[in-house]
């Protein structure tokens, strides 16, 4: 069989064999492979350890919060008119007569097994309530962050590219409004104008009452479940309810994302490599979007991740104004009724979301920026 050869700078090898420009052998590459594997294992181990320690710290904080708040969990269960015998029996059943360290270990064990206790408000296990209410918050926050990213990033880039112009000033004023205007006020004004006045969107709630329960819950995200079921009437109604609260959340995230994008872009546009590209005759569009914007995508990953986490836990006022059945509304109701099991369960869930999003941001940072690896 005729063999063909490929010539490179240092050797000639048959085509199909490994050619790297230097003569290598399997014994020389094996240590490198082992070294990479060790680095990968060390990185994974460090990632898991940091995540576990952070989660353990979250559990410790929520545990001691539940012990220092001026609410007796026994009284919350049996009421303030229960006899002393019933009080003591319930206290022993809840494990509150044991040493604090033992209580914490039991608490960690229960949380890791998915046992957050029973909600006094709904009478259901807290884990079931969280699985029921959290998808509504995810749906609204996801729509909000999409609005914030799709509008905020281009606005920040344009503001930096035209720094000092009237357009830059307008974008900065919009960002200032996003930081200053209370969410509940925007929600009330939005309902008064776009729902009661113009009739462009649906009112409070997640869906009209005569559509409630018609779509089988698959993901918990009503718009996605409507698409899966192929029910376009329910999908349109769900979007009509979603658009106004999501737009308000998107406006707040837009303000932060646009401001940070403008700051990052101004720093990049002042660099020497951007000046060099302009001197070489590169078009201004390519200078802005290819040379200046490309490096800041790493920083934007962290900004967008944190903004999304804030929307997931900070949409309480929007959920209350729009009667949105999300985790913020659930947490507020539990606080007002001294339902500590529900409060701690929701707090752990929100804290876990922050941990996961932060760790994912770190991973994406390493993916987009080889220098961090």
We report the CATH number of the domain holding residue 134 as: 1.10.3720.10
Domain shared by 63 and 135, yes or no: no
Longest dimension (CA), the chain: 98
Question: Which pLDDT does position 150 carry in this prediction?
Answer: 92
Is residue 25 domain-resident?
A: no
Domain shared by 145 and 234, yes or no: yes
Which domain, by its residues, includes 294? 126-372
DSSP state of 118: B
Question: Which pLDDT does position 143 carry in this prediction?
Answer: 92
**pTM here?**
0.76
Question: Which pLDDT does position 80 carry in this prediction?
Answer: 67
Which residue ranges of the chain lie beneath pLDDT 70? 1-28, 40, 69-73, 75-80, 82, 94-95, 97, 314, 365, 367-373
Is residue 93 domain-resident?
A: yes
Question: Which pLDDT does position 26 carry in this prediction?
Answer: 45
| pLDDT per residue as tens digits for the range 47-96 | 777 777 888 888 888 778 777 766 666 766 666 676 777 777 777 776 67
Task: Work out how many domains the chain is built from and give that number.
Answer: 2
Strand locations in the chain, DSSP E?
Answer: 5-7, 12-14
| pLDDT per residue as tens digits for the range 272-298 | 887 887 888 878 788 888 888 888 888
Is residue 162 domain-resident?
A: yes
- Tokens representing residue 344 in the block: 């701690």
Question: Which pLDDT does position 370 carry in this prediction?
Answer: 59
HSE value, Cβ hemisphere, 13 Å, CA-based, for 77: 19
């Amino acid at each position: 069989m005729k063999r063909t050869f490929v010539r490179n700078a240092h050797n000639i090898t048959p085509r199909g064999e490994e050619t790297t420009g230097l003569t290598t052998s399997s014994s020389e590459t094996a240590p490198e492979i082992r070294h990479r594997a060790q680095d990968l294992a060390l990185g994974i181990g460090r990632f898991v350890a940091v995540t576990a320690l952070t989660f353990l710290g979250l559990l410790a904080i929520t545990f001691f919060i539940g012990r220092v708040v001026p609410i007796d969990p026994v009284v919350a269960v049996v009421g303030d008119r229960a006899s002393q015998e019933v009080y003591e029996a319930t206290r022993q059943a809840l494990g509150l007569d044991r040493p604090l360290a033992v209580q914490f270990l039991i608490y960690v064990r229960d949380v890791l097994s998915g046992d957050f206790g029973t909600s006094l408000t709904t009478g259901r296990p807290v884990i079931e309530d969280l699985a029921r209410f959290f998808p509504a918050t995810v749906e609204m926050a996801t729509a909000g962050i999409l609005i914030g990213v799709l509008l905020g990033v281009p606005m920040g880039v344009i503001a930096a590219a035209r720094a000092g112009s009237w357009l830059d000033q307008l974008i900065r004023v919009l960002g200032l409004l996003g930081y200053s205007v209370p969410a509940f006020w925007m929600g009330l004004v939005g309902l008064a104008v776009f729902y009661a006045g113009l009739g462009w969107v649906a009112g409070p709630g997640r869906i009209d009452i005569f559509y409630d329960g018609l779509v089988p819950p698959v993901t918990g995200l009503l718009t996605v479940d409507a698409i899966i079921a192929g029910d376009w009437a329910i999908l349109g109604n769900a979007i009509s309810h979603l658009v106004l609260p999501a737009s308000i959340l998107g406006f707040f995230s837009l303000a932060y994302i646009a401001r940070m994008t403008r700051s990052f872009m101004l720093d990049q546009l002042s660099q020497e490599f951007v000046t060099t590209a302009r001197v070489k005759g590169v078009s201004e569009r390519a200078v802005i979007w290819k040379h200046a914007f490309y490096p800041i995508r790493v920083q934007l990953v962290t900004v967008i991740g944190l903004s999304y986490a804030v929307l997931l836990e900070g949409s309480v006022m929007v959920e209350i104004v729009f009667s949105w059945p999300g985790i913020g509304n659930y947490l507020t109701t539990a606080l007002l009724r001294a339902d500590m099991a529900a409060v701690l369960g929701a707090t752990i869930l929100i804290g876990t979301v922050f941990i996961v999003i932060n760790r994912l941001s770190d991973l994406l940072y390493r993916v987009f920026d080889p220098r961090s690896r």
